[in-house]
Chains A and B, each alone.
Chain A
Amino acid sequence: MDGARSTRRIVGRVGFYLLLAIIMIYLIFPFYWAFRSSITPDNALFATPVQYFPKEPTLDNYVRVFKDGNFMRALLNSAIVAGSVTVLSLLIGAFASYALGRFRFAGRTPVLYIVLSMTMFPQIAVLGSLYKMVNSLHIYNSLWALILTYMIFTLPFTVWVLTSFFQQMPRELEEAAYVDGATPFQTFYRVLLPLTAPGLVTTGLLAFIAAWNEFLYALSFTQTPNNYTVTLAIFRFEPDTPGGFEIAWGRIMAATIIITIPLVVLTLIFQRRIIAGLTAGAVKG
């Protein structure tokens, strides 16, 4: 009887790890395939049958991608746009979430509802108007157009998540500061903001990832390769040998890996915080 139970336990354990292995292979295989394709020379890449492990791995694709001025420019553009949007959202959003998280005042609830519904706002709904606005401001085909319009999704999200961070802080903190004669602004700046630092890192990171990954507005508001962001560069990847292979898959996969690495590193380092931020933003009411 004991033997049967332990057999069942072993079978259950093996089944569990088998399931886990399948899940991990499912999640990781596309990355492996992108990596494998990025280090495979073109003649082996465009050969059948498919090689699962490259026989003669090469970094040639990476060298070519890094030599590609447009791709490097796109990396820089994305860093500028996502960085600016993140800093602006945190700067402006921290004030608003301090007010929403710590103050009781008439109109607080409607503002919270506006912010919440804004986090679910479909970008496409205002594309036409923003397109006109971008044109009339003469910022079409510039990074300014992206920095301005990306605020539509980063700012409400930042405010929403930071508000919940501010709310979690004990009341005594401010009361002590008020007793000491601090103004609300001083209380915010000297007492609460330093304590929200983890929240700022989390929301900033999420805003950065969202801006880095954006495609619709980048596609609609920029036109020339010098203003492409990485998502657009990947989408419009041009073969560097005219008349060569129609699609330079090896180079595209190298570019894909290059774009993915910083995100993988950020994700692995800040995993817990990202999950906390996402669940605060998505699940908590």
Chain B
Amino acid sequence: MSHATVETAKVVERRKRSALGREQTRTAWLLLLPTLAVVAVVALIPLAQTIYLSFTNDRLASAQPTEWIGLKNYRFLLEDTVFRNSIVTTVKFAVITLVFELLLGLIIALVVNSSFKGRGFTRAAMLIPWAIPTVVSARMWAWMYNDIYGVFNDLLQRLHIIDRNIAWIAEPRYSLAAICAVDIWKTTPFVALLLLAGLQVIPSDVYEAATVDGANRIQQFFRITLPLLRPAILVTLIFRTLDALRVFDVFYVMFGARRDTQTMAIYAQNNIVAFSDTGYGSAIAVAIFLIIGIFVVAYVTTLNVEAS
């Protein structure tokens, strides 16, 4: 009797659980619905439409009907030297800023990882360049770069590094380096903080053991710190690559849509908004999306590898 009751109770319990499971699944999708709806409206449907538009001659606010023109936009894109230059500019920018940001970021991370008075304040202060808008930092630097009244020319002349005022932004020889310096200033502290997070999970007894074994600081850095920091460096690298490849603000504020120094994103924006050429602009956008998509796939799979 009592045995049967236990059995029945178990069955009831199991039924209750599977009912709960079904209800959970239903509740889960219900909870996800608003997010999925928003994502569909602002991202997935627009993405599908962008791909469609890239095969048309669509123009915004044009009387002429939109026609399917197949791969014409893409064929034009392959021969478009302005777009090709924009890729070169963007990639140069990405490589230069990444190298400096990782190198300087690592140095800063190592410095703020050791203990000293005011460490907390230093770490907080490091976030400030990251927190302010890129447009603001671009403006601040543009003023420092000013060819007549700028502090850079004054400082460098006082230090006898240059003997005349240089138009840092206007002269093609210097403009890319000048803009990279702005991004490096703004982003290096952020990179440093990401790397710092990686440094902090390295257990200190590893270093203690190495010291007992007679390894000096430099050996410890290359044999312990760097290998254990690899995941953090990798993620930072890919994360920053994505940002660098879609760079828009800093170039637009400092250079406008100047033809010789435009990034991929500026070229696309200019075609879409200034020229109302949504068809061709969409083809550029798809190309950018594919280039960045390759990195996203790398990112996601890397993370997956790390997790398993």
Query: Which residues of chain A from 143 to 189 have a CB within 8 Å of any chain B CB?
Result: 148-149, 151-152, 155-156, 159, 178, 184-185
Check B42–A148 contact: CB distance below 8 A. yes
Q: Collect the chain B residues with CB atoms within 8 Å of residue A130's CB.
A: 42, 46
Q: How far is the CA of A259 from the CA of B232 in the complex (A)?
A: 32
Q: Please pick, from A96, A114, A122, the residue contacting B31 in the complex, using a CB distance under 8 A.
A: A96
Check A30–B42 contact: CB distance below 8 A. no
How far does the Cβ of A243 sit from chain B's closest Cβ, in whole Å?
A: 19
Q: How far is the CA of A111 from the CA of B185 in the complex (A)?
A: 36
How far does the Cβ of B115 sit from chain A's closest Cβ, in whole Å?
A: 11
Q: Collect the chain A residues with CB atoms within 8 Å of residue B185's CB.
A: 26-27, 30
Name B's A-contacting residues (CB within 8 A). Answer: 20, 23-25, 27-29, 31-32, 34-36, 38-39, 41-43, 45-47, 49-50, 53, 60-61, 107-108, 111, 114, 116, 120, 122-129, 131-137, 139-141, 143-144, 146, 148-151, 154, 185, 189-190, 193-194, 197-198, 232, 235-236, 239, 242, 245-246, 248-249, 252-253, 264-265, 268-269, 272-273, 278, 281-282, 285-286, 288-289, 292, 296, 299-300, 303-304, 306-307
Q: Please pick, from A95, A131, A184, the residue contacting B273 in the complex, using a CB distance under 8 A.
A: A131
Indicate whether A220 reaches chain B with its CB closer than 8 angstroms: yes
Q: Please pick, from A98, A103, A125, the residue contacting B286 in the complex, using a CB distance under 8 A.
A: A125
A152 in contact with B43 given A50-B151, A116-B300 (CB within 8 Å): yes
Q: Please pick, from B27, B193, B252, B285, the residue contacting A103 in the complex, using a CB distance under 8 A.
A: B27
Q: Collect the chain A residues with CB atoms within 8 Å of residue B129's CB.
A: 27, 30
Q: Please pick, from B45, B132, B306, the residue contacting A213 in the complex, using a CB distance under 8 A.
A: B132
Check A129–B143 contact: CB distance below 8 A. no
Indicate whether A76 reaches chain B with its CB closer than 8 angstroms: no
Q: Collect the chain A residues with CB atoms within 8 Å of residue B286's CB.
A: 125
Q: How far is the CA of A264 from the CA of B132 in the complex (A)?
A: 8
Check A117–B300 contact: CB distance below 8 A. yes
Name A's B-contacting residues (CB within 8 A). Answer: 16-17, 19-20, 23-24, 26-28, 30-31, 33-34, 37, 45-50, 92-93, 95-96, 98-100, 103-108, 111, 113-118, 120-133, 135, 148-149, 151-152, 155-156, 159, 178, 184-185, 209, 212-213, 215-216, 219-220, 230-232, 234-235, 249, 252-253, 256, 259-260, 263-264, 266-268, 271, 274-275, 278-279, 282-283, 285
A231 in contact with B299 given A26-B185, A96-B32 (CB within 8 Å): no
How far does the Cβ of B248 sit from chain A's closest Cβ, in whole Å?
A: 5
Q: How far is the CA of A118 from the CA of B248 in the complex (A)?
A: 19
How far does the Cβ of A63 sit from chain B's closest Cβ, in whole Å?
A: 20
Q: How far is the CA of A124 from the CA of B293 in the complex (A)?
A: 13
Q: Please pick, from A37, A135, A215, the residue contacting B248 in the complex, using a CB distance under 8 A.
A: A215
Measured CB to CB, the nearest residue on chain A to B231 is A283
Q: Collect the chain B residues with CB atoms within 8 Å of residue A33's CB.
A: 140, 143-144, 151
Q: How far is the CA of A31 from the CA of B272 in the complex (A)?
A: 35
Check A282–B141 contact: CB distance below 8 A. no
Q: Collect the chain A residues with CB atoms within 8 Å of residue B36's CB.
A: 96, 111
Q: Collect the chain A residues with CB atoms within 8 Å of residue B136's CB.
A: 231, 234, 256, 259-260
A278 in contact with B43 given A131-B273, A268-B124, A285-B306 (CB within 8 Å): no
A103 in contact with B53 given A120-B242, A283-B194 (CB within 8 Å): no
How far does the Cβ of A164 sit from chain B's closest Cβ, in whole Å?
A: 12
Check B133–A259 contact: CB distance below 8 A. yes
Q: Collect the chain B residues with CB atoms within 8 Å of residue A49's CB.
A: 154
Check A124–B246 contact: CB distance below 8 A. yes
Check B272–A278 contact: CB distance below 8 A. no
Q: How far is the CA of A129 from the CA of B289 in the complex (A)?
A: 14
A234 in contact with B139 given A124-B288, A128-B281 (CB within 8 Å): yes
Q: Collect the chain B residues with CB atoms within 8 Å of residue A148's CB.
A: 41-42
Check A128–B154 contact: CB distance below 8 A. no
Q: How far is the CA of A6 from the CA of B214 in the complex (A)?
A: 19
Q: Collect the chain A residues with CB atoms within 8 Å of residue B123's CB.
A: 271, 275
Q: Collect the chain A residues with CB atoms within 8 Å of residue B239's CB.
A: 282
Q: Please pick, from A16, A92, A156, A274, the residue contacting B34 in the complex, using a CB distance under 8 A.
A: A92
Q: How far is the CA of A120 from the CA of B140 in the complex (A)?
A: 28
Check B132–A259 contact: CB distance below 8 A. yes
